[in-house]
Chains A and B, each alone.
Chain A
Amino acid sequence: EVQLVESGGGLVQPGGSLRLSCAASGFTFSTYWMYWVRQAPGKGLVWLSRIHSDGSVINYADSVKGRFTISRDNAKNTLYLQMNSLRAEDTAVYYCARSPSTRYFDYWGQGTLVTVSS
């Protein structure tokens, strides 16, 4: 069974940092593109970043470029999102997702809540 489990969310002060993890199981993690998507409370879905199966290609949304860093450890079957210089508007549930083709997300994690507040 495919599983994606996010962790690392929590309360952080503005300007602070947080690292999210997404533990994958039930599939060959090293062969899939992986993505991060977020959803602010009561709002819609926002695409954040993606990483190629071997880490060779990375893209970011302009809203997080220069502040967030996506990475992966294929030996640990884990995807990461390092978030620096956090702002109140980064408050959201963060989801990781798997893509079998780079064109759609067929499995999502349950999400982890990040709250940026003083």
Chain B
Amino acid sequence: DIQMTQSSSSLSASVGDRVTITCRASQSISPYLNWYQQKPGKAPKLLIYTASSLQSGVPSRFSGSGSGTDFTLTISSLQPEDFATYYCQQSYTTPYTFGQGTKLEI
């Protein structure tokens, strides 16, 4: 199975900050990397698919980049509603493994 590793399990930031969350795969998975946001008690929400495509309805302050094994989710200016847990997921091959999550805290 492909292992997905997010560099931080938690991250502290403030409203207005620019934040970067990184994810590394155990092998090349380009471009099949997705990012999800999850708030407590809620289902995950798709933010970015195939590394850099913004899902419809997701604010443009979210962006994704990367290739090969290294990928990044960037939030350009943190809003109060962005404090949540973020997961990367590879969809290069089944099982479509997730990273362990990065909890973004105030």
Please list the residues of chain A having a beta carbon within 8 angstroms of any beta carbon in chain B. 35, 37, 44-47, 50, 59, 61-62, 95, 102-106, 108-111
Contacts and interface: CB of A to CB of B under 8 A. Distances in A.
Question: At the interface, is chain B mostly helix, strand, loop or mixed?
Answer: loop
Interface in B75-102: 87, 89, 91, 94-101
Instruction: Pick from A35, A45, A47 the residue with the most CB of B within 10 Å.
Output: A45
B19 interface: no
Interface of B: 1, 32, 34, 36, 38, 42-46, 49-50, 55, 87, 89, 91, 94-101
A45 B87 contact: yes
B32 A47 contact: no
A44 B100 contact: yes
A104 B48 CA distance: 9
Contacts of A47: 89, 94-98
B46 A104 contact: yes
Question: At the interface, is chain A mostly helix, strand, loop or mixed?
Answer: loop
B95 A104 contact: no
Given A103-B50, A104-B49, A110-B43, A44 B96 contact: no
A48 B2 CA distance: 14
A44 B95 contact: no
7 contacts: A45-B38, A50-B96, A104-B50, A105-B34, A106-B46, A108-B44, A109-B43
